[in-house]
Chains A and B, each alone.
Chain A
Amino acid sequence: DAGVIQSPRHEVTEMGQEVTLRCKPISGHDYLFWYRQTMMRGLELLIYFNNNVPIDDSGMPEDRFSAKMPNASFSTLKIQPSEPRDSAVYFCATGRGSFYGYTFGSGTRLTVV
């Protein structure tokens, strides 16, 4: 298995631009989480899906952030418009069932200038 695949690995964009981060979960995993990691705040849960349905998006910082999971093989996290304070590493993590730990992707390092 190729693991959780995230793209792009690095993204540099200008303030105000739209950014789309992508995640392909491990086949058969029914839970998908989006996290953001910064030095100041650590790992923050943004949103998670179960069987492609968003369950809890209370961690999404504001309306500029949106996430979708149109099918079991793909999820996106979109930021529009982006701001410098959105600069962080964004991780996607997936797992099978609600009782086990999750596997992380390699992350997307986002820099908004």
Chain B
Amino acid sequence: QKEVEQNSGPLSVPEGAIASLNCTYSDRGSQSFFWYRQYSGKSPELIMFIYSNGDKEDGRFTAQLNKASQYVSLLIRDSQPSDSATYLCAVKGTGNQFYFGTGTSLTVIP
């Protein structure tokens, strides 16, 4: 079983819509959860992190965490073409390892 699982997509949404990206993890003791954005040919860039159950908002981005269900999600409101990228979910395990999902490809259609 993979430590972190994401739907690979591709996910397509029209400009201005809400994009919803989902991630599940296997290590129940995980404490820290991160979302990275990776443009084609570039390195991953940290956009959000969350530690506590519930929602965390930062501009157009909202991260949601449910530790009981071992589920973390990222919502992007008012999606823009510049949001088109691969979004990587990362989880810090109990041993300080930093595991990544395989990423979800998002395309925002103008």
Q: Assess whether B95 is in contact with A100, with CB atoms less than 8 Å apart.
A: no
Stretch at the interface among A16-24, A66-74, A104-112: A104-112
Main secondary structure of the interface of A (DSSP, over half): strand
Q: How many residues of B contact A (CB 8 A)?
A: 23
How far is B95's CA from A35's CA once the two chains are assembled, in angstroms?
Answer: 17
Among B32, B98, B100, which residue has the most Cβ atoms of chain A within 10 A? B98
Closest chain-B Cβ to A111's Cβ sits at a distance in Å of 15
B1 at interface (Cβ–Cβ under 8 A)?
no
How far is B30's CA from A98's CA once the two chains are assembled, in angstroms?
Answer: 12
User: Which of A's residues lie within 8 Å of B, judged by CB?
Assistant: 31, 33, 35, 41-43, 45, 48, 50, 55-56, 91, 93, 98-107
Known: A42-B103, A102-B46. 8 other contacts (CB 8 A): A31-B96, A42-B102, A43-B102, A43-B103, A45-B97, A48-B96, A99-B92, A101-B49
